[in-house]
Amino acid sequence: MAKMNLKPLGDRVIVKPITEEERTKSGIVLPDTAEKERPEQGEVIAVGPGKRMEDGKRAPMEVKKGDRVVFTKYSPNEVEIDDVEYLILKEDDVLAIIEK
């Protein structure tokens, strides 16, 4: 089976979502519900070449492959390849890089 690669264009970023169950202090797992509008987290799998500026040059991307990021929940487009979910979003929708 051939492996498909995604190559983002412009200032787009491909992220593999990281789901973390939310727990109360007593250890009860809280299900993720539609009412929650919180940012999501994921690992950057690939980045585009950057947004093209008016002078024709490209703006450098601030995120890089391997970064763990927080992004707005409803911004990404979802795509599934080989039974793995990936998210495609613009770099502007990335809120922060999580530093270790």
The whole-angstrom distance between residue 64's C-alpha and the CA centroid of its chain comes to 11
- What's the pLDDT score for residue 100? 79
- What distance in Å separates the CA atoms of residue 100 and residue 53, rounded to the nearest whole number? 32
Pairing of strands 40-47, 68-71: antiparallel
Query: Which domains does the chain possess?
Result: 10-18+49-100 (2.30.33.40)
pLDDT in tens, 83-97: 888 999 999 999 999
> Given pLDDT bands bounded at 50, 70 and 90, which one contains residue 73?
confident
pLDDT in tens, 12-68: 999 999 876 555 566 666 555 544 556 689 999 999 999 999 999 999 999 999 999
45, HSE (Cβ side, Cα atoms, 13 Å): 17
| Averaged pLDDT of the chain | 83
